[in-house]
């Protein structure tokens, strides 16, 4: 029976948060759909995750998309709502939270911290590894730069809504009636801080509308009494193929570390990552054949879209009149086309997709196949099974801003046969 509806703004978010329930045995269902009437919810589904793909949309578009889902959820009498946000607060955080608050005409309780990966909230400000958010690499994100550290500023620059920031020492009697409708943002520097607030909200019957990232979702099965049977099944493969579509500096460091530890790097030219018709040309087909040969000779391959020459992508895009959004989706689709070619040629590697756009690019190229999250390989690194054309593929996904420098190397150690690594 459906008890919780979770709304995400990108596909990796749906997976890295949904897996928090799967790994505790809770039956989840993931849908990429803006019209909830098109979703057929299974009888045994306890958590429905709807990815609205609103990260790249305008604030108003994102607001309307979330509002539409909330109106449906209210009509369905779904017991709990969880608005999943990015752990670095990228996207339309304010407008999407406002949509939830507006439909239900009450407060949304927001705990944005994720202490396990160094993301904490202190005195209303968000920090990553003790650096204010606006001074981190996320402030320079090519698509979704975060310009503020104070969460109230992030929310109110997007929309007009009451925001109450609650410091750790504040008691429930002080924050529960501060505002009638709006966003209540909690400080949290430890997991204990997060659990404490959830228990307070449960005690006061205020768990209806929650918001946060994958870090908070980890505690929800217990808090909301969601239970099931745990199943964790994955296979070791001959190799690992990394489709590195994220342009985040954190991902770049991970890619460079992998290449210095034995990964074979293929860097896509501006034409190869932005020209959608390239892979239909003789030159494009020849490139794909060469890449297939590379994969047959190397068990750790990384294909990336970082510029090796300054501004080469920008110059190519300007010559073709492409907007930033055009660039974003072209990169994702090109990665999708490449992976589709390789799997149709029989490549049986685990496929690691970095960035929500990259994974979504593959899903669209394959006409939205069934994808089921199985387990976390490491924090924020989710392994799923993708069913397509009677094939079962192992897909790994992570947000571009997630993970240690050795994430690709450590994943390879876990998922490649020892004899293949020899």
301-326 per-position pLDDT tens digit: 999 999 887 788 889 999 999 998 89
Structural domain contains residue 232: no
Q: What is the pLDDT of residue 248?
A: 84
Rounded to 10°, the helix 249-259/407-415 angle is: 50
**Residue 419, pLDDT above cutoff 70:** no
Mean pLDDT of all residues in 262-278 = 95
**Residue 418, pLDDT above cutoff 90:** no
Residues 261 and 144 in one domain: no
Structural domain contains residue 11: yes
Residues 199 and 247 in one domain: no
Q: What is the pLDDT of residue 403?
A: 84
Distance CA 329, CA 31 (A): 20
> How much is the mean pLDDT over the chain?
93
Residues 267 and 179 in one domain: no
Distance CA 347, CA 360 (A): 20
The string of DSSP letters for 149-216 reads SBHHHHHHTT----EEEE-TT--HHHHTTS-SSSEEEE-BSSHHHHHHHHHHHHHTT--SEEEE-HHH
Contacts of residue 279, defined as CB under 8 A and 6 or more positions apart, other chains included, come to 285, 287, 288, 334, 337, 338, 341
**Domain span including residue 100:** 4-223
Instruction: Give alpha helix (H) positions in 5-128.
Output: 11-22, 59-76, 93-104
Q: Contacts from 65-69 at CB under 8 Å and sequence distance 24+?
A: 65/34, 66/7, 66/95, 66/96, 66/99, 66/100, 67/99, 67/102, 67/103, 68/34, 68/35, 68/36, 69/5, 69/7, 69/34, 69/36
**Residue 143, pLDDT above cutoff 90:** no
Structural domain contains residue 231: no
Q: What is the pLDDT of residue 42?
A: 85
Residue 405 DSSP code: T
Are 377 and 396 within 8 A, CB to CB?
yes
Residues 302 and 328 in one domain: yes
Residues 185 and 249 in one domain: no
Higher pLDDT, 283 or 141: 283
Structural domain contains residue 215: yes
Residue 138 DSSP code: G
**Residue 373, pLDDT above cutoff 80:** yes
Q: What is the pLDDT of residue 142?
A: 81
pLDDT-wise least confident of 105-109, 335-339, 386-390: 386-390
Q: What is the pLDDT of residue 140?
A: 87
- Degrees to nearest 5, angle at CA 394 with 393 and 397: 125
pLDDT band at 194 (very low <50, low <70, confident <90, very high): very high
pLDDT band at 420 (very low <50, low <70, confident <90, very high): low
Are 245 and 267 within 8 A, CB to CB?
no
Q: What is the pLDDT of residue 216?
A: 97
Which of residues 171, 196, 223 is at a domain's end? Answer: 223
Percent of the chain surpassing pLDDT 90: 78
pLDDT band at 232 (very low <50, low <70, confident <90, very high): low
Residues 193 and 250 in one domain: no
Residues 283 and 385 in one domain: yes
Higher pLDDT, 44 or 220: 220
Q: If we measure between CA atoms, which residue out of 17, 38, 84, 44 comes closest to residue 218?
A: 17
Structural domain contains residue 230: no
Residues 313 and 190 in one domain: no
pLDDT-wise least confident of 19-33, 77-91, 200-214, 280-294: 19-33
Are 250 and 140 within 8 A, CB to CB?
no
| 61-82 tens-digit pLDDT | 999 999 999 999 999 999 999 9
Which of residues 197, 223, 249 is at a domain's end? Answer: 223
Residues 38 and 137 in one domain: yes
Mean pLDDT of all residues in 80-86 = 98
Residues 253 and 197 in one domain: no
**Residue 399, pLDDT above cutoff 90:** no
Checking DSSP bridges between strand 183-186 and strand 163-166, what pairing results, if any?
parallel
The string of DSSP letters for 258-326 reads HHTTTPEEEEPPHHHHH-TTGGGSHHHHHHHHHHHHHHHH-SEEEEE---SSTTHHHHHHHHTT--HHH
| 127-139 tens-digit pLDDT | 999 999 999 999 9
Structural domain contains residue 233: no
Tally the domains of the chain. Answer: 2
Residues 164 and 252 in one domain: no
How far separated are the first and last CA of the chain, in Å rounded? Answer: 48
Structural domain contains residue 216: yes
pLDDT-wise least confident of 165-169, 226-230, 267-271: 226-230
The string of DSSP letters for 375-387 reads EEEETTEEEEEEE
| 11-65 tens-digit pLDDT | 989 999 999 999 899 999 999 888 999 888 888 899 999 999 999 999 999 999 9
Q: What is the CATH number of the domain that holds 325?
A: 3.40.980.20
Which of residues 189, 223, 257 is at a domain's end? Answer: 223
**Residue 383, pLDDT above cutoff 90:** yes
Structural domain contains residue 235: no
Are 189 and 122 within 8 A, CB to CB?
yes
**Residue 422, pLDDT above cutoff 60:** no
Q: What is the pLDDT of residue 4?
A: 98
Q: What is the CATH number of the domain that holds 23?
A: 3.40.50.10840
Mean pLDDT of all residues in 100-123 = 97
Residues 34 and 173 in one domain: yes
């Amino acid at each position: 029976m459906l008890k919780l509806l979770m709304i995400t703004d990108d596909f990796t978010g749906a997976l890295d948060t949904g897996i928090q329930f799967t790994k505790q045995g809770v039956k989840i269902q993931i849908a990429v759909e803006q019209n909830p009437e098109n979703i057929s919810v299974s009888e045994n589904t306890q958590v429905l995750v709807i990815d609205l793909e609103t990260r790249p949309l305008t604030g108003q578009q994102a607001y309307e998309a979330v509002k539409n889902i909330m109106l449906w959820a209210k009509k369905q009498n779904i017991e709990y709502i969880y608005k999943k946000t990015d752990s670095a607060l990228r996207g339309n955080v304010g407008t999407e939270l406002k949509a939830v608050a507006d439909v239900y005409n009450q407060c949304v309780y927001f705990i944005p911290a994720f202490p396990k990966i160094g993301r904490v909230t202190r005195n209303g400000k968000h920090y990553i590894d003790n650096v204010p958010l606006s001074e981190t690499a996320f402030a320079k994100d090519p698509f979704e730069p975060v310009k503020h550290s104070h969460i109230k500023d992030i929310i109110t620059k997007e929309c007009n809504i009451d925001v109450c920031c609650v410091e750790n020492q504040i008691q429930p009697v002080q924050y529960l009636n501060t505002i009638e409708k709006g966003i209540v943002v909690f400080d949290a520097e430890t997991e204990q801080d997060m659990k404490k607030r959830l228990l307070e909200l449960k005690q006061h019957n205020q768990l209806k509308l929650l918001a946060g990232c994958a870090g908070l979702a980890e505690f929800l099965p217990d808090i909301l009494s969601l239970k099931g049977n745990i199943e964790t099944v994955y296979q070791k493969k001959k190799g690992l193929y990394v489709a590195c579509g994220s342009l985040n500096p954190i991902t770049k460091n991970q890619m460079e570390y992998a290449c210095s530890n034995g990964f074979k790097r293929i860097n896509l030219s501006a034409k190869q990552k932005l020209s959608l018709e390239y892979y239909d040309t003789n030159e494009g087909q020849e490139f794909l054949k060469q890449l297939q040969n590379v994969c047959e000779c190397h068990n750790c391959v990384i294909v990336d879209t970082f510029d090796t020459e300054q501004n080469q992508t920008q110059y190519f895009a300007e010559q073709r009149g492409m907007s930033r959004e055009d660039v974003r989706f072209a990169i994702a689709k090109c990665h999708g086309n490449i992976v589709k070619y390789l799997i149709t040629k029989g490549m049986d590697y685990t496929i690691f997709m970095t960035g929500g756009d990259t994974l979504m690019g593959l899903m669209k190229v394959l006409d939205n196949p069934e994808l089921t999250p199985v387990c976390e390989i490491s924090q924020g690194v989710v392994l799923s099974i993708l069913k397509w054309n009677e094939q079962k593929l192992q897909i790994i996904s992570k947000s571009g801003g997630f993970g240690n420098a050795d994430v690709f190397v450590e994943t390879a150690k876990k998922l490649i046969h020892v004899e293949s690594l020899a």
